[in-house]
């Protein structure tokens, strides 16, 4: 078998992975993907091959707690069973935060790990788990190149006004700035759009990455100009469990009047707000769309209103909008959200083709629409695999 690229996306309670075959002269071809959930407790995992075959990952039932290393061992066991373990030529990792200086994929060594540890205060809910996934993979594949791919890197082209907050300049200089996230997804979409519609891709585009985590990004000629997420992945749109844009005074109120400490506020804003908090039902858009609850309708309405506001705002950071792209779980699959977000946006040159939208067609704008609207499925794993191939120098 030829070289295999393994990609890993380690979260606090999950480890997503994918295996790609490398064929000379072609982009990496996905062999399988899977996910382990329940890390930190009793975990369960599964794998699905490109052919659609599914299998479960098993863990020692005597283990009370499955950590990232145990999860990595389970993936390694599956790789052995599939006959891929000896073919893994490089491992690519999604890392949420690269800070000011990690602006392109990097081969991981001790200095890179030290830098990532120094970034933990900027992404305390993500970076430690990304590092744990890296260390587990390095132990499983000690002589295999490991590559870190950063979600913030795509946004380092922001101009100053779209990168800063209105705080004293010293805070900006020390790293308090709008980093932006979902960069691997945006990078994949811009490259894909360049193949589908190269003339449009060279102009001004707004991409809406709408999933459990949601953000939007204005792009000019394939380079990020502005995005809705800021210093952390809390800002901008409301999300599955995250609040999105929030007056900082609310946090001060929670501290002074509600006597909430930092951990309690963090838990509220990250885990119990957004669609879940507003609806009181679920963070799953599919469940909310079928609910008769007024609170569910209100949560969706707020989600949509923020999309509309950010679309108009991002258009102001570039010279109008040549195209809008919807991607990620909600963006790719919820025609109701897309329709509600784009209705009445003719003033922006957006004319929706209702039938195409409800059929999830690739182009959902009317033929006469000055602004073209696309649905393009994202593939962050493939983006990581491609970066890993180039950075590690792997050949087919």
HEC secondary structure over the chain: CCCEEEEEEECCCEEEEEEEECCCCCCCEEEEEEEEECCCCCCEEEEEECCCCEEEECCCCCCCCCCHHHHHHHHHHHHHHHCCHHHEEEEEEEECCCCCCCCCCEECCHHHHHHHHHCHHHCCCCHHHHHHHHHHHHHHCCCCCEEEEECCHHHHHCCHHHCCCCCCHHHHHCCCCCCCCCHHHHHHHHHHHHHHCHHHHCCEEEEEEECCCEEEEEEECCEEEEECCCCCCCCCCCCCCCCCCCCHHHHHHHHHCCCCCHHHHHHHHHHCCHHHHHHCCCCCHHHHHCCCCHHHHHHHHHHHHHHHHHHHHHHCCCCCCCEEEEEHHHHHHCHHHHHHHHCCCHHHCECECHHHHHCCCCECECCCCCEEEEECCCCHHHHHHHHHHHHHCCCC
Q: Which of 56, 67, 109, 151 is catalytic?
A: 151
Q: CB neighbours of 181 closer than 8 A, spacing ≥ 6?
A: 96, 151, 152, 155, 213, 215, 227, 229, 233
Q: Which tokens go with 241?
A: 């469990």
- 151 has catalytic annotation: yes
Q: Which tokens go with 72?
A: 């990595």
Scored b (16 or more CB within 10 A) or e, 91-123 reads: bbbbbbbbbeebeebbebeeebbeebeebeebb
What is the distance between the alpha carbons of residues 185 and 330, in angstroms, rounded to a whole number?
Answer: 14
Residue 348: left if φ>0, alpha if ψ -120 to 50, beta else—which one? alpha
Q: Which residues belong to the active site? A: 151
């Amino acid at each position: 078998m030829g070289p295999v690229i393994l990609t890993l996306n380690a979260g606090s309670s999950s480890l997503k992975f994918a295996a790609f075959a490398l064929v000379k002269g072609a982009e990496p071809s996905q062999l399988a993907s899977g996910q382990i959930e329940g890390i930190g407790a009793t975990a369960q995992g599964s794998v699905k091959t490109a052919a659609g075959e599914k299998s479960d990952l098993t863990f020692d039932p005597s283990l009370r707690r499955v950590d990232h290393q145990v999860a990595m061992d389970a993936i390694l066991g599956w790789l052995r069973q599939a006959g891929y373990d000896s073919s893994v030529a490089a491992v690519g990792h999604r890392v949420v935060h690269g800070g000011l200086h990690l602006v392109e994929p990097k081969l991981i060594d001790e200095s890179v790990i030290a830098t990532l540890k120094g970034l933990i205060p900027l992404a305390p809910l993500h970076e430690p788990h990304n590092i744990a996934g890296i260390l587990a993979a390095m132990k499983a594949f000690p002589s295999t190149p490991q590559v870190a791919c950063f979600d913030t890197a795509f946004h380092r082209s922001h101009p100053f006004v779209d990168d800063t907050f209105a705080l004293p300049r010293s805070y900006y200089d020390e790293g308090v700035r709008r980093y932006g996230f979902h960069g691997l997804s945006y990078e994949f979409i811009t490259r894909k759009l360049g193949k589908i519609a190269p003339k449009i891709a060279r102009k001004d585009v707004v991409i809406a990455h709408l999933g459990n985590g949601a953000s939007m990004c204005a792009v000019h000629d394939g380079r990020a100009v502005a995005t809705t997420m800021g210093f952390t992945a809390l800002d901008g749109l409301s999300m599955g469990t995250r609040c999105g844009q929030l007056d900082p005074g609310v946090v001060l109120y929670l501290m002074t009047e509600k006597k909430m400490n930092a951990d309690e506020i963090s838990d509220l804003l990250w885990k119990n707000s957004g669609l879940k908090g507003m609806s009181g039902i679920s963070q799953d858009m599919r469940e909310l769309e079928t609910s008769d609850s007024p609170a569910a309708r209100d949560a969706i309405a707020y989600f949509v209103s923020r999309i509309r506001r950010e679309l108009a705002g991002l258009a102001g950071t570039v010279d109008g909008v040549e195209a809008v792209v919807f991607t990620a779980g909600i963006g790719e699959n919820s025609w109701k959200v897309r329709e509600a977000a784009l209705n009445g946006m003719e003033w922006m040159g957006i004319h929706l083709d209702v039938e195409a939208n409800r059929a999830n067609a690739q182009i959902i704008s009317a033929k006469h629409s000055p602004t073209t609207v696309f649905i393009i499925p994202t593939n962050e794993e493939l983006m990581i695999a491609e970066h890993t191939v180039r950075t590690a120098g792997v050949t087919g």
